[in-house]
Amino acid sequence: MERLPLQDMTILDLTWVIAGPMATRLFSDLGAKVIKVESRKSFDVLRSGCQRKGNKDPRKEGGWAYNDFNHGKLDISLNLKSEKGREVFEELVRISDIVVSNFGAAAFKKLRITYDDLKEIKPEIIVLNASGLGDWGPYSSFVTFAPILQSMTGIESIVGYEGEEEPYGSYPPIADYMGGLAVCNYLFAAVEHRDRTGEGQFIDLSQGEGAVSYLGHVLLDWQLNKIKRGLKGNHHYSDGAAPHNVYKCAGKEGKWCAIAVTTEEEWKAFARAVDPSGSWTGSDKFESLGKRIENQKELDERVEEWTKLRSREEAARILQRAGVSCAPVQSAEDVLYSDEHLRAREYFREMRFPCSEKLPESFLVNDLPFRIDGKTGERGVSPAPEMGAHTEYVVMSLLGKSREWYDAAAAEEAFV
């Protein structure tokens, strides 16, 4: 088998929940050895989330979100406060390229794992801490879950129905994914720097600043135009497209399609497809983008008259064939079971849960969203390991400790 690109890389992973684990799993998917450190007292809290009913011990079997973000990793249980646990940790730092965490600053000091501590152990180590709002600054100790970050960075304020004062409210944890992506990108930048110079470094990653960096155009718009655009629903945020909305389709309640018409060429194609005689699309109310924005309410009603008579799939087929952007709004079930395109690309991969009675035998999880030279990731993957599943392997095989040493350390509660 061809070597995966990251087989020479070892990551000591002290992260939990979403942003960190999502990032390190992408590395393990590409061949990096990721050693996840947990302990009986403080295991990854995501293990308990999204659980099937009846599961008694999340340390044995995490919920599915946990499995998605942690399969393919080595998992060890380590008590950093014990002497031998500390020794194992320091040796792990020595064999690692990267230590990645998402603690608050106080926890580092308490556990003696600040960058200064770690570079003492290995000067060229790369250390990245991904926190909600960064390692320092007036709000750095704040309690921040993704929705809080989404609020503080302005994302919350742009999702909502047109004409309403109140934004929609709780949005899926997009800020965690933004943070996770930034973790990936910055780790590589630091690895590249180390490969060139031999130097390690500390990276202070603020998920909040990661999120703000997606909104530069919005901030420039405010500085230069001083217009409060307010909530736009599904209309184009800067009036750059019309029609641009989600429309009701035929069939059971709750079937929708999205249509986006940006250029005049697309508008002409759209008009030919939905109104070949030009009975309404020919009206001067819709003759230019400016006019279509001005008369958007009427435009949307007209478009919906057309979509309502068609299934969302049919609407998408007709308009895409005409060269117009249109797509069905797909639920999770739709993407899993009826999206022919994803099936043809063999996107989802199977995870088997041999230990559970109540889970389906196979469970579909995400692959990487890209293929390198056409290759997908492994088709069948194992669930995320039990907490501490690889403690013995890591300590004895990777670090070369004897059975006697391991047993003595275990007796001193180094691995709880």
Partner 1 sequence: MNFPYEGLKVLELEGAAGMYCGKMLSAWGAEVIKIERPGGDICRRRGPFATTAAGEKVSLTFEYFNTGKKSVTLDMSCAEGQSVFKELASQSDVVIESFAPGQMKKWGLDYETLKEHAPALIMLSITPFGQTGPHSAWKASTDLIVDAMGGPMAEVGVEGKAPLHLGYDILSFMSGMYGLFAIQATYHKTKKSGVGAHIDLSQQECCLTWRNQALGFAQIDEKSPRLRKADAVRQGLVNCRDGFAFAMVGGKWQETLDWFSDMGQDVSVFDAPMYRQHAADMLTKWDAVLLEHYNMLGSNYTKTGMMLEGQKRKLAVGVVESPDSLLLNEHFNARGCFVDVSHPVLGRLKYPGEPAKMGRCRQLTNKPAPLVGEHNRVIIERLRAVR
**Of 204 and 414, which CB lies nearer to partner 1 in the complex structure?**
204
**What's the closest the beta carbon of residue 1 comes to partner 1, in angstroms?**
14
Q: Which listed residue (11, 12, 14, 212) binds partner 1 by CB under 8 A? A: 212
In this chain, which of 56, 228, 252, 297 binds partner 1, going by CB under 8 A?
228
Contacts of 388 (CB under 8 A, 6+ apart): 38, 40, 59, 75, 76, 77, 415
Beta bridge partner(s), residue 74: 35
3 state SS of 285: helix
Write out the binding residues for partner 1, residues 283-302 only, by CB under 8 A: none
Q: Residue 57 interacts with partner 1 (CB under 8 A)?
A: no
Does residue 352 belong to the site contacting partner 1 (CB under 8 A)?
A: no
Instruction: Indicate whether 247 belongs to the interface with partner 1 (CB under 8 A).
Output: yes
- The answer to the question of residue 224 lying near partner 1 (CB under 8 A) is yes
How far apart, in whole angstroms, are the C-alpha atoms of residue 359 and residue 353? 7
Those residues whose C-beta lies under 8 Å from the C-beta of residue 346, and which sit 6 or more positions away, are 376, 379
Task: Rank residues 14 and 203 by Cβ distance to partner 1 and give the closer one.
Answer: 203
Using CB under 8 A as the binding rule, whether residue 336 contacts partner 1 is answered as yes
Assess 80 for contact with partner 1 (CB under 8 A).
Answer: no
Question: Is 408 one of the binding residues for partner 1 (CB under 8 A)?
Answer: no
Q: CA-CA distance, 208 to 179, in Å (whole number)?
A: 8
Closer to partner 1 by CB, 319 or 395: give it.
319
Which residue, 169 or 400, has its beta carbon nearer to partner 1?
169
DSSP-derived letter for residue 142 is -
Binding of partner 1 by 113 (CB under 8 A): no
- Among 177, 266, 158, smallest CA distance to 219 is for 158
42 binds partner 1 (CB under 8 A): no
- Contact flag: residue 16 with partner 1 (CB under 8 A): no
Binding window for partner 1 (CB under 8 A); candidates: 60-68, 291-299, 379-387, 401-409: 60-68
Alpha carbons 33 and 35: distance in angstroms, whole number = 6
Peptide bond into 243 cis (omega under 30): yes
- Rounded CA gap, 118 and 200, in Å? 11
Q: Is 263 one of the binding residues for partner 1 (CB under 8 A)?
A: yes
